[in-house]
Amino acid sequence: MRRTRRSHHYAYAITAGERLYSIFLGPFFVICVLFLAVKFFSVPSATNVNFSDLLTATSFTLGRLLVAYVIAVILAIPIAILAVKNTFTEKIFLPMFDVLESVPILAFFPILILFFLRINLPNGAAIFILFLSMLWNIVFTIASGLKLIPRDIIYAAEVFGIKGFRYFKEVTLPAIFPEIVTGSILAFAQGWNLIIVAEVLHTYIPGGTNSQDLFGIGSILVRASNQGDTNLFIASIAVMVVVIALFNFFIWQNLIHYSERFKFE
Protein backbone atom coordinates (compact mmCIF):
# COMPACT_ATOMS: atom_id res chain seq x y z
CA MET A 1 0.00 0.00 0.00
CA ARG A 2 1.52 3.26 -1.11
CA ARG A 3 1.92 5.95 1.52
CA THR A 4 2.03 9.72 1.17
CA ARG A 5 4.04 11.96 3.43
CA ARG A 6 3.04 14.62 5.89
CA SER A 7 3.74 18.17 4.89
CA HIS A 8 5.54 19.22 8.06
CA HIS A 9 9.26 18.62 8.45
CA TYR A 10 11.75 19.21 11.23
CA ALA A 11 15.24 20.61 10.79
CA TYR A 12 17.88 18.26 12.13
CA ALA A 13 21.42 17.20 11.32
CA ILE A 14 21.66 15.30 8.03
CA THR A 15 25.26 15.22 6.81
CA ALA A 16 28.04 13.48 8.72
CA GLY A 17 29.63 16.83 9.49
CA GLU A 18 26.39 18.27 10.88
CA ARG A 19 25.79 15.19 13.01
CA LEU A 20 29.32 15.24 14.42
CA TYR A 21 28.88 18.94 15.15
CA SER A 22 25.62 18.23 16.99
CA ILE A 23 27.15 15.49 19.13
CA PHE A 24 30.17 17.58 20.17
CA LEU A 25 28.49 20.97 20.56
CA GLY A 26 26.39 20.18 23.64
CA PRO A 27 29.04 18.24 25.59
CA PHE A 28 31.72 20.81 24.72
CA PHE A 29 29.55 23.65 26.03
CA VAL A 30 28.73 21.80 29.26
CA ILE A 31 32.35 20.80 29.87
CA CYS A 32 33.47 24.42 29.34
CA VAL A 33 30.92 25.60 31.91
CA LEU A 34 32.10 22.91 34.33
CA PHE A 35 35.72 23.93 33.80
CA LEU A 36 34.91 27.55 34.62
CA ALA A 37 32.91 26.48 37.66
CA VAL A 38 35.79 24.39 38.98
CA LYS A 39 38.35 27.09 38.23
CA PHE A 40 36.53 29.98 39.91
CA PHE A 41 34.00 28.60 42.38
CA SER A 42 34.92 25.09 43.49
CA VAL A 43 36.24 23.90 46.84
CA PRO A 44 39.41 21.76 46.53
CA SER A 45 38.73 18.04 46.75
CA ALA A 46 41.26 15.34 47.39
CA THR A 47 39.15 12.49 46.02
CA ASN A 48 40.67 10.44 43.23
CA VAL A 49 37.92 9.86 40.69
CA ASN A 50 37.64 6.28 39.47
CA PHE A 51 36.17 6.50 35.98
CA SER A 52 35.57 2.75 35.75
CA ASP A 53 33.23 3.04 38.74
CA LEU A 54 31.47 5.99 37.10
CA LEU A 55 31.00 4.02 33.89
CA THR A 56 29.66 1.05 35.83
CA ALA A 57 27.25 3.31 37.71
CA THR A 58 26.13 4.86 34.42
CA SER A 59 25.47 1.40 32.97
CA PHE A 60 23.24 0.59 35.95
CA THR A 61 21.37 3.86 35.46
CA LEU A 62 21.01 3.28 31.73
CA GLY A 63 19.70 -0.22 32.42
CA ARG A 64 16.94 1.16 34.65
CA LEU A 65 16.04 3.75 32.03
CA LEU A 66 15.87 1.15 29.24
CA VAL A 67 13.69 -1.25 31.23
CA ALA A 68 11.30 1.59 32.15
CA TYR A 69 11.27 2.80 28.54
CA VAL A 70 10.49 -0.62 27.05
CA ILE A 71 7.58 -1.09 29.47
CA ALA A 72 6.33 2.43 28.68
CA VAL A 73 6.34 1.82 24.91
CA ILE A 74 4.65 -1.58 25.20
CA LEU A 75 1.82 -0.11 27.29
CA ALA A 76 1.59 3.26 25.54
CA ILE A 77 0.67 1.78 22.14
CA PRO A 78 -2.56 0.00 23.19
CA ILE A 79 -3.47 2.85 25.56
CA ALA A 80 -3.17 5.41 22.74
CA ILE A 81 -5.06 3.21 20.27
CA LEU A 82 -7.87 2.75 22.79
CA ALA A 83 -7.99 6.48 23.56
CA VAL A 84 -8.51 7.56 19.94
CA LYS A 85 -10.48 4.56 18.72
CA ASN A 86 -13.54 6.75 18.21
CA THR A 87 -15.02 10.06 19.32
CA PHE A 88 -16.65 8.49 22.37
CA THR A 89 -13.40 7.03 23.74
CA GLU A 90 -11.57 10.29 23.03
CA LYS A 91 -14.02 12.23 25.16
CA ILE A 92 -13.60 9.75 28.01
CA PHE A 93 -9.92 8.85 28.00
CA LEU A 94 -8.00 11.88 26.72
CA PRO A 95 -9.20 14.25 29.48
CA MET A 96 -8.50 11.53 32.05
CA PHE A 97 -4.99 10.96 30.67
CA ASP A 98 -4.39 14.71 30.68
CA VAL A 99 -5.23 14.83 34.39
CA LEU A 100 -3.02 11.83 35.16
CA GLU A 101 -0.12 13.40 33.26
CA SER A 102 -0.51 16.59 35.31
CA VAL A 103 -0.40 14.83 38.69
CA PRO A 104 3.13 15.21 40.18
CA ILE A 105 4.86 11.87 39.79
CA LEU A 106 6.87 12.30 42.97
CA ALA A 107 3.63 12.34 44.98
CA PHE A 108 3.50 8.56 44.46
CA PHE A 109 7.16 7.91 45.11
CA PRO A 110 7.23 7.43 48.92
CA ILE A 111 4.38 4.90 48.69
CA LEU A 112 6.06 3.10 45.80
CA ILE A 113 9.35 2.88 47.66
CA LEU A 114 7.72 1.36 50.75
CA PHE A 115 5.83 -1.15 48.61
CA PHE A 116 8.87 -2.30 46.63
CA LEU A 117 11.06 -2.42 49.73
CA ARG A 118 8.45 -4.65 51.37
CA ILE A 119 8.84 -7.13 48.51
CA ASN A 120 12.63 -6.62 48.55
CA LEU A 121 12.77 -5.07 45.08
CA PRO A 122 14.19 -1.54 45.48
CA ASN A 123 15.07 -1.33 41.78
CA GLY A 124 11.38 -1.77 41.05
CA ALA A 125 10.60 1.56 42.73
CA ALA A 126 13.08 3.43 40.52
CA ILE A 127 11.96 1.66 37.35
CA PHE A 128 8.28 2.25 38.11
CA ILE A 129 8.67 5.96 38.77
CA LEU A 130 10.77 6.29 35.59
CA PHE A 131 8.09 4.38 33.68
CA LEU A 132 5.40 6.77 34.92
CA SER A 133 7.50 9.76 33.92
CA MET A 134 7.94 8.38 30.39
CA LEU A 135 4.51 6.91 29.68
CA TRP A 136 2.40 9.97 28.91
CA ASN A 137 4.93 11.57 26.55
CA ILE A 138 4.72 8.47 24.38
CA VAL A 139 0.95 8.05 24.75
CA PHE A 140 0.11 11.57 23.57
CA THR A 141 2.56 11.57 20.67
CA ILE A 142 1.22 8.20 19.46
CA ALA A 143 -2.36 9.45 19.81
CA SER A 144 -1.40 12.45 17.69
CA GLY A 145 0.09 10.16 15.05
CA LEU A 146 -3.05 8.03 14.90
CA LYS A 147 -5.18 11.11 14.28
CA LEU A 148 -2.97 12.05 11.33
CA ILE A 149 -3.58 8.87 9.32
CA PRO A 150 -5.27 10.05 6.08
CA ARG A 151 -8.81 8.82 5.55
CA ASP A 152 -7.95 7.47 2.11
CA ILE A 153 -5.40 5.12 3.72
CA ILE A 154 -8.05 3.86 6.11
CA TYR A 155 -10.59 3.42 3.30
CA ALA A 156 -8.05 1.62 1.13
CA ALA A 157 -7.33 -0.81 3.98
CA GLU A 158 -11.07 -1.51 4.25
CA VAL A 159 -11.37 -2.11 0.50
CA PHE A 160 -8.51 -4.62 0.52
CA GLY A 161 -9.84 -6.33 3.63
CA ILE A 162 -6.89 -5.43 5.81
CA LYS A 163 -7.96 -5.76 9.44
CA GLY A 164 -6.94 -7.11 12.82
CA PHE A 165 -3.25 -7.71 13.41
CA ARG A 166 -2.47 -7.20 9.73
CA TYR A 167 -3.99 -3.70 9.91
CA PHE A 168 -1.90 -2.93 12.98
CA LYS A 169 1.27 -4.20 11.28
CA GLU A 170 0.78 -2.59 7.87
CA VAL A 171 -1.08 0.63 8.71
CA THR A 172 -1.07 1.52 12.40
CA LEU A 173 2.51 0.68 13.33
CA PRO A 174 4.13 2.45 10.36
CA ALA A 175 1.87 5.45 10.93
CA ILE A 176 2.81 5.85 14.58
CA PHE A 177 6.50 4.99 14.24
CA PRO A 178 7.66 8.62 13.76
CA GLU A 179 5.59 9.62 16.79
CA ILE A 180 7.03 6.76 18.82
CA VAL A 181 10.51 8.11 18.04
CA THR A 182 9.52 11.66 18.98
CA GLY A 183 7.79 10.51 22.16
CA SER A 184 10.75 8.30 23.03
CA ILE A 185 13.20 11.20 22.82
CA LEU A 186 10.99 13.28 25.12
CA ALA A 187 10.41 10.33 27.45
CA PHE A 188 14.10 9.46 27.77
CA ALA A 189 14.94 13.10 28.49
CA GLN A 190 12.31 13.07 31.21
CA GLY A 191 13.84 9.89 32.60
CA TRP A 192 17.31 11.44 32.77
CA ASN A 193 15.83 14.46 34.56
CA LEU A 194 14.27 12.21 37.18
CA ILE A 195 17.08 9.69 37.62
CA ILE A 196 18.64 11.52 40.58
CA VAL A 197 15.38 11.30 42.52
CA ALA A 198 14.71 7.73 41.40
CA GLU A 199 18.05 6.42 42.68
CA VAL A 200 18.27 8.34 45.97
CA LEU A 201 15.71 6.28 47.87
CA HIS A 202 16.76 7.11 51.42
CA THR A 203 15.32 10.62 51.13
CA TYR A 204 11.83 9.14 51.01
CA ILE A 205 12.31 6.45 53.66
CA PRO A 206 11.68 7.39 57.31
CA GLY A 207 15.07 7.16 59.03
CA GLY A 208 16.69 6.17 55.74
CA THR A 209 20.44 6.09 55.15
CA ASN A 210 22.68 6.40 52.11
CA SER A 211 23.16 2.63 52.09
CA GLN A 212 19.57 2.28 50.84
CA ASP A 213 20.26 4.29 47.69
CA LEU A 214 20.57 2.51 44.37
CA PHE A 215 24.00 2.36 42.75
CA GLY A 216 23.93 4.64 39.73
CA ILE A 217 25.21 7.91 38.33
CA GLY A 218 22.31 9.81 39.90
CA SER A 219 23.01 8.64 43.44
CA ILE A 220 26.73 9.32 42.95
CA LEU A 221 25.92 12.89 41.90
CA VAL A 222 23.82 13.46 45.02
CA ARG A 223 26.44 11.90 47.29
CA ALA A 224 29.21 14.01 45.76
CA SER A 225 27.12 17.15 46.18
CA ASN A 226 26.26 16.38 49.82
CA GLN A 227 29.89 15.64 50.64
CA GLY A 228 31.25 18.67 48.79
CA ASP A 229 33.29 16.37 46.57
CA THR A 230 33.79 18.66 43.59
CA ASN A 231 36.00 16.32 41.57
CA LEU A 232 33.51 13.47 41.77
CA PHE A 233 30.58 15.77 41.07
CA ILE A 234 32.16 17.28 37.96
CA ALA A 235 33.37 13.92 36.67
CA SER A 236 29.90 12.40 37.15
CA ILE A 237 28.22 15.18 35.20
CA ALA A 238 30.83 14.93 32.44
CA VAL A 239 30.29 11.17 32.09
CA MET A 240 26.51 11.61 32.05
CA VAL A 241 26.68 14.31 29.38
CA VAL A 242 28.94 12.22 27.16
CA VAL A 243 26.72 9.14 27.49
CA ILE A 244 23.59 11.17 26.67
CA ALA A 245 25.34 12.70 23.64
CA LEU A 246 26.46 9.29 22.37
CA PHE A 247 22.97 7.87 22.89
CA ASN A 248 21.51 10.78 20.94
CA PHE A 249 24.01 10.40 18.11
CA PHE A 250 23.89 6.63 17.63
CA ILE A 251 20.27 5.91 18.58
CA TRP A 252 17.90 8.86 18.31
CA GLN A 253 19.40 10.57 15.27
CA ASN A 254 19.45 7.31 13.33
CA LEU A 255 15.85 6.58 14.32
CA ILE A 256 14.79 10.09 13.30
CA HIS A 257 16.33 9.58 9.86
CA TYR A 258 14.74 6.15 9.49
CA SER A 259 11.31 7.38 10.59
CA GLU A 260 11.23 9.98 7.81
CA ARG A 261 10.21 7.31 5.32
CA PHE A 262 6.99 6.64 7.24
CA LYS A 263 5.73 10.23 7.55
CA PHE A 264 2.59 11.27 5.70
CA GLU A 265 2.31 14.49 3.75
pLDDT tens-digit profile of 165-175?
899 998 899 99
User: In angstroms, rounded to a whole number, what is the distance separating the alpha carbons of residues 194 and 132?
Assistant: 11
The answer to whether residue 135 sits within a structural domain is: yes
> What is the tally of structural domains in the chain?
1
DSSP 8-state symbol, 261: G
- Taking residues 195-223, what's their average pLDDT? 88
Whether 58 has a pLDDT exceeding 90, the answer reads yes
The answer to whether residue 96 sits within a structural domain is: yes
pLDDT tens digits, 224-237:
888 888 888 888 88
164: left (phi over 0), alpha (psi -120 to 50) or beta: left
Domain span at residue 141?
Answer: 57-262
Q: What pLDDT score does 72 carry?
A: 97
Instruction: For residue 75, give Cα distances in angstroms to 8, 28, 136, 218, 237.
Output: 28, 37, 10, 26, 32
- Taking residues 201-208, what's their average pLDDT? 83
For the chain, what is the mean pLDDT? 82
The answer to whether residue 88 sits within a structural domain is: yes
The answer to whether residue 11 sits within a structural domain is: no
- Taking residues 181-201, what's their average pLDDT? 93
The answer to whether residue 255 sits within a structural domain is: yes
The answer to whether residue 15 sits within a structural domain is: no
The answer to whether residue 44 sits within a structural domain is: no
Instruction: For residue 140, give Cα distances in angstroms to 35, 57, 93, 130, 136.
Output: 39, 32, 11, 17, 6
> What residues form DSSP beta bridges with 264?
5
User: In angstroms, rounded to a whole number, what is the distance separating the alpha carbons of residues 131 and 199?
Assistant: 14
pTM (predicted TM-score): 0.83
Q: What pLDDT score does 1 carry?
A: 38
More confident residue, 136 or 7: 136
pLDDT tens digits, 86-115:
888 888 888 888 888 888 888 878 888 889
- Taking residues 230-249, what's their average pLDDT? 85
The answer to whether residue 19 sits within a structural domain is: no
Q: What pLDDT score does 239 carry?
A: 87
- pLDDT-above-90 percentage for the chain: 34
- Taking residues 19-32, what's their average pLDDT? 63
CATH number at residue 188: 1.10.3720.10
Q: In sequence order, what are the residues at sequence separation of 6 or more whose Cβ sits closer than 8 angstroms to the Cβ of residue 204?
A: 109, 110, 113
